Amino acid sequence: MKKNLFTIFLILCTVFLYSENQESQRSPWTVYIGTGATILDSEPVMTIDGKIIYSISNFLNFGFEANVFHTLERSYKDSLDRKYQAEAATSGIFIQPHWQLANKWNLGLKVGTGSQFVQFRYSGKQRDDLVWTEEILDKLLIETFTLGLTAEYKLCPLHSLMLDIGYRSMPDTKSMFTSNESIGAEFYGTLQYGMRL
């Protein structure tokens, strides 16, 4: 066990030392991946998030982001008492003015637009008795507008952690399969690890 921990420690030290040596040759591209939470049909859900950011200048970024999430299978039941869930994926583009607050901290304002795809599908056990064309109950495609704040901490020139919180605005979209008869705007938050390419 001690050998494994020591090996991991040596690998991490090597990566960070290599990163420090590459500072002068930094790429404008950074990839982020992480997890967070949002609201889907008035229910809190966990998300898997990712984004790619291109640094246009020292004060402005452009990027693409996407996330996936779904409600719990126990969230809904149809008239025959069969369980189904809401599954969603969001993607979009954004611009992000940002300012350096301290040596390793950046604060940013994210403004973006995109779309959210939502589908209502029977849970795994219920799908066993259905033809694949009967699994999905409804599909929705919703336009989104995002306004968020980001706080990024630079671990070293090539590695960072980013906290991204904000509000995703969208028109109320009705579906007979939601608990509130419509899906509307939602708050979100995510913590992501970033690596400059």
| Domain contains 145 | yes
Close Cβ partners of 156 (under 8 Å, ≥ 6 residues apart): 16, 19, 20
Stated as kind and residue range, the H or E segment containing 84 is strand 83-100
Residue 4 has pLDDT above 60, yes or no: no
| Domain contains 179 | yes
Minimal CA–CA distance to 173: which of 181, 161, 165?
181
* % of the chain residues with pLDDT over 90: 45
Query: Distance (Å, rounded) from C-alpha 40 to C-alpha 92?
Result: 18
Higher pLDDT, 100 or 8: 100
| Domain contains 34 | yes
According to DSSP, the residues that pair with 175 across neighbouring strands are none
Residue-wise pLDDT for 91-137, tens only, equals 999 999 999 988 899 999 999 999 999 898 887 777 777 777 788 88
Do residues 40 and 183 make contact, with C-beta atoms less than 8 angstroms apart?
A: yes
Do residues 155 and 3 make contact, with C-beta atoms less than 8 angstroms apart?
A: no
| Domain contains 39 | yes
Residue-wise pLDDT for 145-185, tens only, equals 999 999 999 998 889 999 999 999 988 777 777 766 567 77
| Domain contains 87 | yes
Helices (H), ranges, 62-168: 124-127
Number of structural domains found in the chain: 1
Contacts 24+ apart (CB under 8 A), 124-129: 124/73, 125/83, 126/82, 126/83, 126/84
SS3 readout for 14-82: HHHHHHHHCHHHCCCEEEEEEEEEEEECCEEEEEEEEEEEEECCCCEEEEEEEEEEECCHHHEECCCCC
Confidence at 19, pLDDT banded by 50, 70, 90: low
| Domain contains 180 | yes
CATH number of 50's domain: 2.40.160.20
| Type of residue at 80 | L
Residue-wise pLDDT for 33-83, tens only, equals 999 998 877 778 889 999 999 999 889 999 999 999 887 655 677 777 778
pLDDT (0 to 100) of residue 172 = 79
pTM above 0.75, yes or no: yes
Most confident stretch, 1-5, 73-77, 86-90: 86-90
What residues make up the domain containing 77? 25-196
Residue-wise pLDDT for 137-146, tens only, equals 889 899 999 9
